[in-house]
Amino acid sequence: MSYSFIHRILLTALILMPASNAYSKEISFDYLQTVFTSGTIDPGGSLNEIDGNGFGFSLSLSINTHLAFSLLVITTNFETFQGMNNLDTSTITGVGVTAHKTIAPATELFANLSAVMAEITASDATGSVSDDDLGAVFSIGLRHLITDRIELELTASDTYVFDNNAISYGMEARYYFRQALSVGFGYITSENTDSLLLNARLDI
């Protein structure tokens, strides 16, 4: 009886050990990262597609075990469009809050609500014009650690700014070189925009 009990404990430990080792790393919502994006906008009709590259940073800091503050600052430079030589969009997402909850081993469900300040500046030979607006972004997603080194993330976002509503979907794969240092590669698509993104993240 005693031998059988000990045998079952040892067998259970052996079965659980690989799973425990596979998920020894926790998903963190405390990080600082730099972001690079490369996107294409399809205006529709007979207009040509517009290509642009963006660079910025994002920050996430825990408020408690289920809430985190978020900040995103990114500037995108587009190629010539309809005679305008420089078309820059600068988007700042601040006062954002992320709610997250563990729903399975190494799996976090999260939702983010952020205020967005967007500014557009366009230039041609005669001068420049600019416009800005205050909007909002709501995102929901899932983060899952396949191993201690590989993480997958799926997101869906609804953005409202400049009296326009856009829904986008994203997918990202992340590789951890070290416990706190990682790089992510992702793809985001919406009705008329497709973007590739690359980021470097430091968990803090």
pTM for this model (two decimals): 0.82
**How many other C-beta atoms are found inside a 10 Å radius of the C-beta of residue 38?**
14
For residue range 171-185, list pLDDT tens digits in order.
999 999 998 999 999
Domain regions of the chain by residue span: 27-203
CA distance 126 to 133: 24
Of the candidates 119, 33, 113, 43, the one whose C-alpha atom is nearest the C-alpha of residue 76 is 119
Band of the pLDDT at 2, cuts 50, 70, 90? very low
* 78-90 pLDDT, tens digit each: 765 555 555 667 7
Average pLDDT score, the chain: 85
- CATH topology for the 27-203 domain: Lipocalin (2.40.128)
Give 3-state DSSP helix, strand, coil % of the chain, rounded to 5: 10, 70, 20
Closest CA to 142 of 173, 107, 174, 185: 107
Residue 12: partners with Cβ closer than 8 Å, 6 or more residues away: none
Q: Contact at 8 Å (CB) between 50 and 41?
A: yes
